Amino acid sequence: MSRVKIVREYLNTSNDSKTQSAASPATVTASSQAQPRPQQPAPPQQPQSQQQDVLKPAIGSANKSPRALVAASTGNLQDAVVKKIDLEELRKNLIQSKQLYEDPKFPAEGRSIYPSRPNQRYVWKRPKEICQSPMFISDGVSRFDVKQGELGDCWLLASIASLSMNKSLFDRVVPPGQDFDAGYCGMFRFRFWHFGRWKEVVVDDRLPTKAGRLCFMRSQDRNEFWSALLEKAYAKVNGSYEALTGGSQSEAMEDFTGGLCENFDLIKAPADLFSVMFQANKSESLMGCSIESEEIEGELENGLITGHAYSVTDVRNCKLKNGQEEALVRVRNPWGNECEWKGDWSDRSPLWNQVNADEKSRLKMDASDDGEFWMAFKDFVQEFTKLEICHLCPETMSGTVKGAAAKKRRWEISIEKGEWKKNVSAGGCRNFIDSFHTNQQFRVEIVDPDEEDDENLGTIIVGLMQKDVRKITVGGEYFTIGYAIYQLRGHNDSPLDQKFFRYNKQTDKSAFVNQREVSGRHKLPPGRYVIVPSTFNPNEEAQFILRMFSEKPNLAAVLDSETKMEVSPAIAAPSAHRRTRNRCAKPSRASPAARVEFTHSSCSRS
């Protein structure tokens, strides 16, 4: 992949700016209950002279995140974090006094489970009250330790199942050495990546039960509790268990790795997708997939479940007895049962007769009703509608991550933090041409093309993430965000002004989506470019980070100066339509800018 050089600049101009008005296309808010999908009103028409270059934010799946609906009930990530020195002192005191830890910030109460229905009956029990010989981890960690319960958090379970396949990454999130033996005090700790930093979260081991059984995530082994406690820690970070109903695998995978997620619309799958997946699997990236549909947890005749999150657990070329090869993808349903693919290359497909025993062993072929199955790549692309790949960054692959995983690291990353400030650097998207230039600009130079690219193009993966809505109180919303890429001519290093953006078209762009992060893969000729991240409307304030992945090291420099601007009041927030959280919105084909990049899956299984 190409070498990339990155320079960030705040614009430094004395010209005051005023925004032009623009239409406010519709977006979608999350509802706490499943609702019928409403008809979407047609957006107001722009004058003919403006229509070609007017952005429309995608109809995202979480303008009002499920997390935001309950974030104020039990605190946020900052509250969940315990300083290490305080933690060790607390542990010591608990052991000496023979007391068990009770988390005051995530109490064993109904509001920690369902804030909207706090009077539901659950019995909180510690593992030693559930079974005689509880273990944190029994016989190692496996993706089969992750089974879904009552909660509609299949997106989270699919991500945890993928995490469990990489011991080094798993140990970063779930620190080793925790158990129910000597030194047990009812306290367990976990680590999550949050807006560029790893933070430690501590929980007690009281878990919701009914009739003596765990209600939510659990292991196949009733004596094993790491998965249930990890789910509890993630629920604490998000405010409650209820907040985990409906979500994106991308968010969970990034929170577990610090990596950058790339999303693929399989309805328009790129020609080299199998190569991308094969390399991602080789590099130990985390992958997930789903079928977007109006159906609520609908089972198809082929055995697949719509509106449901799956893990991608392997990508291989299978050698057949006749010497040919078949591109295969292994997929796992977090329900961990007989609900599996029934087509070609499924567990009982006669096509496996074309494969010898050694090759089956290499592929770890298993016909058990465990939720995991193989399928042909061509069927994978045909049946699933969305693929999410979480690329691992060097920071993730270093430090505690060693061995084979460290040797396979593929990506280098450049990270820049920024902020959209009202009347300073929150200029809105390019619809607002008079203020767009006041947004922060990130200069990128693609030095070399990809090593094996016949078109002499270089690839970068860009991710724009806004500060997590978990810190926003009830009713908080994600802003609609995106970015545009412009090619520079010549070697002028001056900040780009309003005139440049008025008379130059963008080279590439992301969708504008009301989600935590927008990302995209861009193949560009070697040269110098400017990336302009923005909210859709001007004067929307938030912190953000811009991340760029490339195969070779990135060189970055920061030049900071600020300019004030005057803008007319921002257009109203995109009109709110309720999104059905148990359903995935279908991708819009109106234009690339309106394509849905993220959807939430929220199937439950008791």
Please, which residues have CB within 8 angstroms of residue 541's CB and are 6 or more apart in sequence?
A: 419, 420, 421, 422, 426
Q: In this structure, what token pair is assigned to residue 82?
A: 């315990």
In tens, the pLDDT along 369-422 reads 888 999 999 999 999 999 999 988 655 444 334 445 444 445 567 888 999 999
At residue 4, the pLDDT reads 57
At residue 84, the pLDDT reads 62
Whether residue 25 is predicted with pLDDT greater than 70 in this model: the reply is no
Cα 289 to chain centroid distance, Å, stands at 12
Does 603 participate in catalysis according to the annotation?
no
Which residue type is seen at 355? V
Q: How far is CA 79 from CA 197, 284, 488, in A?
A: 15, 32, 45
In tens, the pLDDT along 258-282 reads 999 998 999 999 999 999 999 899 8
- Which 3 state secondary structure label does DSSP give 275? helix
- What rounded mean pLDDT belongs to the chain? 77
- Write out 398-419 in H/E/C secondary structure: CCCCCCHHHHCCCCEEEEEEEE
Rounded CA-CA distance 128/106 in Å is 20
Judged by average pLDDT, the poorest of 246-260, 474-488, 555-569 is 555-569
Rounded CA-CA distance 186/101 in Å is 5
Whether residue 3 is predicted with pLDDT greater than 60 in this model: the reply is no
Q: Out of 238, 263, 281, 333, which one is annotated catalytic?
A: 333
What domains appear along the chain, each with residue ranges and CATH number? 4-40+52-68+412-594 (2.60.120.380), 77-238 (no CATH), 260-390 (3.90.70.10)
Q: In this structure, what token pair is assigned to residue 361?
A: 């062993």
Whether residue 572 is predicted with pLDDT greater than 70 in this model: the reply is no
Give the pLDDT band of residue 575 (cuts 50, 70, 90).
very low
The arithmetic mean of pLDDT across residues 514-521, rounded, is 91
At residue 66, the pLDDT reads 36
Strand partners, 327: 317
Distance between start and end Cα atoms, the chain = 45
Which residue type is seen at 506? Q
Judged by average pLDDT, the poorest of 76-80, 120-124, 284-288 is 76-80
At residue 131, the pLDDT reads 94
Whether residue 28 is predicted with pLDDT greater than 50 in this model: the reply is no
Judged by average pLDDT, the poorest of 2-6, 187-191, 328-332 is 2-6
Does 194 participate in catalysis according to the annotation?
no
Give the burial string for 429-460 (b: 16+ CB within 10 Å, else e).
bbbbbbbbbbbbbbbbbbebbbeeeeeeebbb
The arithmetic mean of pLDDT across residues 192-196, rounded, is 90
Q: Out of 63, 154, 166, 238, which one is annotated catalytic?
A: 154
At residue 366, the pLDDT reads 86
Per-residue DSSP letter, 538: T
DSSP string, 239-273: TSSGGGSSB-HHHHHHHHH--EEEEEEGGG--TTH
The residue ranking higher by pLDDT, 562 or 189, is 189
Rounded CA-CA distance 182/432 in Å is 63
Decide if 247 contacts 601 (C-beta within 8 A).
yes
At residue 394, the pLDDT reads 55
Please, which residues have CB within 8 angstroms of residue 567's CB and are 6 or more apart in sequence?
A: 17, 18, 19, 423, 427, 428, 432, 434, 435, 538, 539
Neighbours of 92 (CB within 10 A): 12
At residue 591, the pLDDT reads 32
The arithmetic mean of pLDDT across residues 531-557, rounded, is 81
The arithmetic mean of pLDDT across residues 130-140, rounded, is 92
Give the pLDDT band of residue 214 (cuts 50, 70, 90).
very high
The arithmetic mean of pLDDT across residues 160-166, rounded, is 91
At residue 49, the pLDDT reads 34
Whether residue 364 is predicted with pLDDT greater than 50 in this model: the reply is yes
Share of the chain above pLDDT 90, in %: 50
In tens, the pLDDT along 58-112 reads 544 333 343 333 333 334 454 455 566 678 888 899 999 999 999 999 999 999 9
Whether residue 15 is predicted with pLDDT greater than 50 in this model: the reply is no
- Which 3 state secondary structure label does DSSP give 443? strand
> Which segment, 27-36, 67-76, 329-338, 463-472, is predicted with the most confidence on average?
329-338
The arithmetic mean of pLDDT across residues 279-304, rounded, is 86
By CB neighbour count within 10 A (0-12 exposed, 13-18 middle, 19+ buried), where does 285 fall?
A: buried
Rg (the chain; Cα; Å): 24
Q: Find, among 59, 57, 61, 58, the residue nearest to 30 by Cα.
A: 61
The arithmetic mean of pLDDT across residues 446-461, rounded, is 79
How crowded is the C-beta side of 406, counted as CA atoms within 13 Å? Answer: 8
Judged by average pLDDT, the poorest of 44-53, 98-107, 123-132, 479-488 is 44-53
H helix or E strand, kind and range, residue 316? strand 309-319
Angle at 143 between CA 339 and CA 317, to 5 degrees: 80
For 279, phi then psi, to 5°, come to: -70, -40
Q: Out of 63, 185, 215, 308, which one is annotated catalytic?
A: 308
Q: Find, among 606, 604, 588, 579, the residue nearest to 68 by Cα.
A: 579
At residue 550, the pLDDT reads 75
Does 577 participate in catalysis according to the annotation?
no
Share of the chain above pLDDT 70, in %: 71
- Which 3 state secondary structure label does DSSP give 29? strand
Rounded CA-CA distance 527/444 in Å is 8
